[in-house]
Homo-oligomer: A and B are copies of this chain.
Amino acid sequence: MNANVPPTAALVAKLTARDDLSAEEIAVLQGMMSEPRIVQGGHDIVRDGDRPGHSTLLIDGFACRYTTLKDGGRQITALHVAGDFVDLHSFMLKEMDHGVGALTLCRIATVDHGRLLEITHTHPHLTRMFWLLTLIDGSMHREWLVGMGRRPALGNAAHFICEIYTRLSVVGMAADNAFVLPLTQVELGDVLGLSSVHVNRVLQELRSGELITWTGQNVVILDWDALADLAEFDPRYLHVVKEPR
């Protein structure tokens, strides 16, 4: 939000939580991004079938990857927060096989794929760090698969809350077990593979168990241990460990 926070601040935080970056690498990151741009909530950032010539960094706001089925059902396959590259994978995949939508007003900036291509020639470590970002996306996908396939709705909702809290913490957007999450219950249903009615009931159960409060967009985790236990949340899959990569 702050004008003198560089657009890459959250990205740098996300990366340096996993490995040190050199001053030059940080400069390359800052130099490669376009001017920030605003996307209104509810609008698409990238469309299914697009062949974007650039990848998009989310500076601020919430976005998601989603796919829509013929019957109108929607599945959100990833939720993105500040510092996430929402479609870094399009650099190598070329054609988008899903859409990316802004859930709230989003501030974004882009990198040209040509610039990324150069970086793969000139900056191997930075290239690996970009690769790492997409691998962490994959880890989250797998964890969501486990949740949808084998966790009951209550546990999976709890797991989602644990994940988002952890991820927001990394970029300084959550602390003291509290954070802002501007998701409707319909959207949460599209994340968890549930109907919005059932999401409502699951949230009530989490509230009545005094595990969380969730009023408007304000989520507070009242009992982290109990929530993580219910979720069988093991944060290793987020790989928030600084080591040489």
Contacts and interface: CB of A to CB of B under 8 A. Distances in A.
Interface of A: 49, 65, 67, 69-70, 73-75, 77-78, 89, 92-95, 97-98, 120-121, 124, 127-128, 131-132, 134-139, 141-146, 148-151, 190, 192-193, 232, 234, 236-237, 239, 241, 243, 245
19 contacts: A49-B236, A67-B142, A67-B146, A75-B149, A78-B142, A89-B138, A89-B139, A92-B135, A93-B139, A97-B143, A97-B234, A97-B237, A98-B142, A124-B124, A131-B131, A134-B135, A148-B149, A148-B193, A149-B190
Contacts of A94: 239, 241, 243, 245
Contact of A142 (B65, B151, B192, B241): B65
What copy number does this chain have within its complex? 2
Nearest to A140: B141
Interface residues of A, dominant DSSP: helix
A69 B232 contact: yes
B236 A97 contact: yes
A128 B120 contact: yes
- List 4 tightest A-B contacts by C-beta distance, closest first: A149-B193, A141-B141, A97-B237, A77-B142
Contact of A138 (B128, B141, B146): B141
A92 B128 contact: yes
A240 to B, nearest CB: 11
Q: Which residue of A94, A98, A142 has the most chain B CB atoms within 10 A of its CB atom?
A: A142
A148 B145 contact: yes
